[in-house]
Structure formats: C-alpha cells, structure tokens
Amino acid sequence: MPELPEVETTRRGIEPHVVGRKVSSVTIRDRRLRWPISDDLEQRLEGGRVLAARRRAKYLLIDFDNGSLLVHLGMSGSLRLVNNKEQPRKHDHVDIALDTGFLLRYHDPRRFGSMHWVEGTSHSLLDHLGPEPLSTDFSGDYLYRVSRTRAAPVKHFIMDAKVVVGVGNIYANEALFMAGIRPDRAANKVSKVRYVRLAETIQEVLATAIEVGGTTLRDFVGGDGKAGYFAQSLQVYGRAGELCKRCKGQTLKEIRQSNRSTVFCPNCQR
C-alpha cells in the first residue's frame, strides 16, 4: 500500500503539471472503487482550475475554487500524467483532461482507492487524523503526553492515525530500531527521553524515504506514476533471520503484531 512518502512523492510529481491548469473534461470508466464515485463528480471538476495539490496523511487533495478532489490510492492505485492520445489500459478508471493536452490518469487494479468531492475543510476521512509527522505539531513531548493512557504496544501506538499520520508498517519498524525501542513494549512504559528520540527517528526515516522517492519524479509524466520504496536503506524490515547491521552479532527476530510483520533486534532494542 502506498505510504506517506510515496503519496508525497506523487504530490510533488504531479504538482507542477496540474497547478494553474484548467480541467477540460473528465472520463470515468468505472465508478466502483472502495466507495462508488459520485454521479456528479464530472460536473464539479469540468471547467475548474487547479489552485493547489496538497497531501494530508495518505490522502491527496487537489484544490479548486469551489472545493477539493480527495484521492486515496488504496493498495494498488497510482496517478500519472499521460498524453491525451495514449489509449487507456485495463484498470485505468479515471481520466482528468487538462488544457495542456495531458491527462491525469488514475490506475487501480484492486479498486481499493477512492475519490471524493470535498466542500469546505471537513470530511469524515480527514476529521479525526493526528498531526503530520514532519510538522511542528509533532514531537517527543507530544508522543509522551498522549501515550500515558495507552497500554498497547508502542508500534501499534505510532501507527494509529489518530495519534500521528503516515507511520506505516515499514517505517514503524525502521524508526523503532533506530530509536532502540522494542516494538512490543507498552506505549505507556516508554520514557519521555526515548519518545524524543523516537519522534526524531520517525521524522528521519520518513524524510529519507521522501528524498529517495524524489529521484523517480520523472516517472509521473508518461511513466507508471509509482514511487519506489527505499529498500536499499532498510535496517530491519524484511531482514528476519539475518544479522543486525548495528551490533553485528544478534539475529533479527520476527513476530506478528495485528497480523503484520514486525522485525527487531533483541540486543539493540529494549
């Protein structure tokens, strides 16, 4: 599933090509996404001029003067810019034609993504989200304060979008390793000093992933519209049974938490 860095890379990839451009037409081939696309979406978009391309958590928001298009990429979705002469492929469900002759094309084989029209600043998918991890609202002090009543494992805690958005499974594994915290430790048993370090590592791992994703920006025009994971930088995720890169003597251990893979070093993480 696309995570925050991949969605941010998508935003940066399409932004210079859509902002200031007018929507000339909209073609919807299949409305059956996670939630059906509304029957009036074409009417709301056509003739509108794009004011901005934003991200909130794992959602893209394309702003117009009368509202915003809210896009979630789901498990397999992508947005890319293609010439309007390029024939649609299977699973190319939505084309938003711009006055430049390019199409903003939404591709989603599994149809777990979604598109909604938002008027104003409130929407049920956005209203209860926590702070952005790369914003000034997020800090170790904040994590410590919110965690005091949470007995759930700290990995579950930082992956809760009501606590902080965008810390997916891969990045939670990596940030906890970098902070030296066991993923199964109770959130309310982690000290403030360690939460300060954890907030720093969350920001570091996400910023690094966004930077790596930035090298694929050319793919958003005529390419596949997907950003790559920073697999070459992974310290623990996907490396169960291998030696820890930090201590070099301990074998990385894998456990299951809420049906997700968690990998950690029993020596380096406590």
111 and 162 part of one domain: no
Kindly state whether residues 110 and 208 are assigned to the same domain: no
Nearest-angstrom CA–CA distance, 108 and 106: 7
Instruction: Look up 266 and say whether it is catalytic.
Output: no
In terms of domains, do 148 and 251 share one? yes
Q: Which pLDDT score, from 0 to 100, does residue 120 have?
A: 86
Residue 83 and residue 162 share a domain:
no
The pair phi, psi for residue 81, each rounded to 5°, is -100, 125
153 has catalytic annotation: no
The binding site for DNA consists of 91, 110, 150
The one catalytic residue in 3, 6, 8, 174 is 3
Q: In this structure, is residue 231 part of a structural domain?
A: yes
Do the Cβ atoms of 18 and 60 come closer than 8 Å? no
Q: Could you tell me if 179 and 240 lie in one domain?
A: yes
Total domains in the fold of the chain: 2
End of a domain among 56, 87, 118?
Answer: 118
Same domain, yes or no: 146 and 247: yes
Beta bridge partners of 81: 104, 221
Distance separating alpha carbons of residues 211 and 88, to the nearest angstrom: 30
Bridge partners of residue 260, in order along the sequence: 257
Q: Would you state the pLDDT for residue 212? A: 78
Q: Are residues 146 and 234 part of one domain?
A: yes
Which residue among the candidates 2, 5, 133, 153 is catalytic per the annotation? Answer: 2
Whether 58 sits among the annotated catalytic residues: the reply is yes
CA 195, CA 40: separation in Å to the nearest integer?
Answer: 46
Let me know whether 96 and 205 are in one domain. no
Model pTM greater than 0.85? yes
Domain holding 232, by residue range, is 140-264
For position 222, what pLDDT does the model report?
56
Query: CATH number, domain at 219?
Result: 1.10.8.50
Buried b (16+ CB within 10 A) or exposed e, 191-201: eeebbebbbeb
pLDDT at residue 184, rounded to an integer? 98
Tokens 């606590």, located at residue: 163
**Residue 216: predicted pLDDT:** 45
Which of 12, 31, 34, 260 is labelled catalytic? 260
The catalytic position among 11, 58, 80, 105 is: 58
Give a yes or no: residue 206 inside a domain: yes
Alpha helices in the chain (DSSP H): 4-18, 41-45, 140-147, 154-159, 169-179, 192-213
- Residue 73 is part of a domain; what is its CATH number? 3.20.190.10
Same domain, 173 and 240: yes
Annotated binding site: 91, 110, 150
My answer on whether 212 and 161 are in the same domain is yes
Question: What whole-number distance in Å separates Cα of residue 94 and Cα of residue 84?
Answer: 13
Last residue of a domain, one of 86, 118, 150: 118
Q: What is the pLDDT along the chain (270 residues), one digit of tens a residue?
A: 678 888 898 899 899 999 999 999 999 999 999 999 999 999 999 999 999 999 999 999 999 999 999 999 998 888 999 999 999 999 999 999 999 999 999 999 999 999 999 998 899 999 999 999 999 999 999 999 999 999 999 999 999 999 999 999 999 999 999 999 999 999 999 999 999 999 999 999 999 888 877 544 445 555 566 655 566 578 999 999 999 999 999 999 999 999 999 999 999 999
Q: Is residue 124 a part of any domain in this protein?
A: no
Query: What was the pLDDT predicted at 218?
Result: 47
130 belongs to a structural domain: no
254 is catalytic: no
Q: Which two tokens stand for residue 24?
A: 């000339």
**Residue 105 confidence (pLDDT):** 96
